[in-house]
Amino acid sequence: MHISRIVALVGVVLGVIGLFMKALTTEGEGLLVQLSQADPNFPGGIPTIWGGLATWAQVVAVIAIVVVVALVARPPITAPFDRIGAIVVSLIGVSLTAYAVVKWMDAGDRAEQLEAGFAQAAAATAIPEAFTVSTGIGFIVLMVGTVLVLVGGVLALARPGDATAHSV
pLDDT the model gives residue 38 = 87
Tens-digit pLDDT profile for residues 99-146 = 999 999 999 999 999 999 999 999 988 888 999 999 999 999 999 999
Q: Is residue 165 part of a domain?
A: no
Tens-digit pLDDT profile for residues 18-53 = 999 999 999 999 999 989 888 888 888 899 999 989
Kindly report the pTM of this predicted structure. 0.86
The DSSP-derived string for 99-167 is HHHHHHHHHHHHHHHHHHHHHHHHHTTSSSS---EEE-THHHHHHHHHHHHHHHHHHHHT-TTSGGGG-
Residues spanned by the domain of 21: 3-158
Q: Is residue 21 part of a domain?
A: yes
pLDDT the model gives residue 160 = 59
Q: Three-state SS for 98?
A: helix
Q: Please state, in angstroms and rounded to a whole number, the distance separating the CA atoms of residues 21 and 160.
A: 38
Q: Is residue 29 part of a domain?
A: yes
Q: What is the mean pLDDT of the chain?
A: 91
Q: Is residue 168 part of a domain?
A: no
Tens-digit pLDDT profile for residues 48-73 = 999 989 999 999 999 999 999 999 99
Q: Is residue 166 part of a domain?
A: no
Q: Is residue 115 part of a domain?
A: yes
ω before 76 within 30° of 0 (cis)?
Answer: yes
Neighbouring CB atoms inside 10 A of 131's CB total: 20
Pairing label, strands 24-26, 133-135 = antiparallel
Give how many domains the chain has, as a whole number: 1
